[in-house]
Amino acid sequence: MFSGIQPTGTSHLGNYLGALRWWVDFQDRYDALYCVVDLHALTIPGDPEELSKATLTTASLLLAAGLDPSRCILFVQSHVHQHAELTWLLECTASMGELNRMTQWKDKAAKGGEESARVGLFAYPVLMAADILLYDTDLVPVGDDQRQHLELTRDLAQRWNTRYGDTFTIPNAVIAPAGGGARIMDLQDPLRKMSKSSGSDAGIIYLLDDPDVIERKVKRAVTDLDPPGPGAVRWDPDEKPGVSNLLEILAALRGGKPEEIAAGYENYGKLKADAADAVIEMLRPLQERYREYAQDPGSVQAILADGASRASDIASRTYERARSAIGLLPR
Ligand code: TYM
């Protein structure tokens, strides 16, 4: 199993519910590798000093969320050089057309203008494919927004295997079903996913937000103008996206299905109060553990160094196989 998270700003509730909580569960069931993908963060403008800080913060948050280096491999992408090297080989099997069809590229390029978008942003899904394929990965736990990138990874691996002989394992995405937290929406704009690249912080719950900030953000979450009463609180992402998002958050944290949880509510105030409580309760121990790691960055760096060394052992073998399959002269 392999998955990754970008160290762009602080991770948020969408990252936690769509990915991290599953990572923690899965570390006992699978040979799992988890990666802070710092090279991916270079695809958008950012401050170099902030990047290394955010990389350490993200790794600390993953540990605080429950990743345990004795049960999984946790490492930083740029510490294993084969990620960049395999990306080149895969870029020489991918086509402009298929990368042009990636919706994340289209969205981001449309926002900032395609002319000035970085080439790395365009090629980003190929780097992601390299991440996954280097570890003979069967399963990739991700949120719904990564579905298309996983499809591309499978296509590239299949094409490569057909062209150059069996080299890569074909991976499968593991995505929670609808209502299971795979697509948490922005609290201020429930038609858009909660995202680090959103313009405003008001709709995003960061994992390090204080309880009063969380309460305020959830209380101000956009719902709709239906009057209270039976049926006002119901699971209906198309007609009632704001309310459904709160139900989904509550369901993911307390267990159960959002449509069943809805039956217990007649007004939005109580739903918001309970959703805020559930988030605060979940984050309390995580934030406490985070503070401990933040005081001892050396211990986090040691965990990452050990993770990189274990990851390298696997990645170097796969990369050598790929080199030889594509005809590069043995060293
Ligand atoms: P990233 O850093 O944007 O997000 C990390 C994980 O969080 C999930 N996620 C969400 N889930 C539910 N609701 C949301 N609003 C939400 N926002 C984010 C993402 O789906 C992801 O699982 N390209 C990836 C990182 C990556 C990767 C990989 C993942 C690089 N290489 C290899 C898997 C395998 C990304 O930008 O995720």
- For ligand 1, atom 5, which residue shows the shortest CA distance? 5
Return residue ranges of the chain for CATH 3.40.50.620.
2-181+297-326
Residue 266: count other Cβ atoms within 10 Å of its Cβ.
Answer: 15
Backbone angles phi, psi at 118, to 5 degrees: -75, 145
CATH fold for domain 211-291: Tyrosyl-Transfer RNA Synthetase (1.10.240)
Question: Which atom of ligand 1 lies nearest, measured to the CA of 142?
Answer: 22
Mutate to test the pocket of ligand 1, among 37, 154, 186 (most ligand atoms within 8 A of CB): 37
Alpha-carbon torsion angle 36, 39, 44, 47, nearest 10: 80
Question: Which atom of ligand 1 lies nearest, measured to the CA of 146?
Answer: 20
Q: Is the CB of 143 under 6 A from ligand 1?
A: yes
Backbone angles phi, psi at 244, to 5 degrees: -65, -35
Q: Is the CB of 130 under 6 A from ligand 1?
A: no
Return residue ranges of the chain for CATH 1.10.240.10.
211-291
Between these two residues, 88 and 110, which has the higher pLDDT value? 88
Residue 111: count other Cβ atoms within 10 Å of its Cβ.
Answer: 10
Instruction: Tell me how far the alpha carbon of residue 15 lies from the centroid of ligand 1, in angstroms.
Output: 7
Mean pLDDT, residues 279-300: 98
Residue 174: count other Cβ atoms within 10 Å of its Cβ.
Answer: 18
Among residues 252, 240, 237, 142, which one has the least CA distance to residue 205? Answer: 252
Instruction: Kindly report, residue by residue over 124-165, the tens digit of the pLDDT.
Output: 999 999 999 999 999 999 999 999 999 999 999 999 999 999
Share of the chain above pLDDT 90, in %: 89
Amino acid letter, 9? G
Residue 198 scores a pLDDT above 80? no
Cα distances (angstroms) measured from residue 231 to each of 216, 238, 260, 269 = 25, 15, 12, 15
Residue 26 scores a pLDDT above 90? yes
Mean pLDDT, residues 298-321: 98
CATH fold for domain 2-181+297-326: Rossmann fold (3.40.50)
Between these two residues, 194 and 200, which has the higher pLDDT value? 194
Backbone angles phi, psi at 185, to 5 degrees: -100, 160
Q: Which two tokens stand for residue 95?
A: 């086509």
Instruction: Tell me how far the alpha carbon of residue 143 lies from the centroid of ligand 1, in angstroms.
Output: 6
228: confidence class by pLDDT, cuts 50, 70, 90: confident
Amino acid letter, 269? G
In the DSSP assignment, the letter for residue 19 is: I
Q: In the Cβ-directed half-sphere of 94, how many Cα atoms lie within 13 Å? A: 30
**Beta strands per DSSP E along the chain:** 2-5, 33-36, 73-76, 139-141, 172-174
Mean pLDDT, residues 233-243: 96
**pTM, full prediction:** 0.97
Q: Give pLDDT, residue 52.
A: 96
Mean pLDDT, residues 1-30: 96
Q: Which two tokens stand for residue 183?
A: 């697509």
Q: Is the CB of 57 under 6 A from ligand 1?
A: no
Positions marked catalytic:
108, 193, 196
Instruction: Tell me how far the alpha carbon of residue 142 lies from the centroid of ligand 1, in angstroms.
Output: 6
Among residues 164, 209, 161, 167, which one has the least CA distance to residue 187? Answer: 209
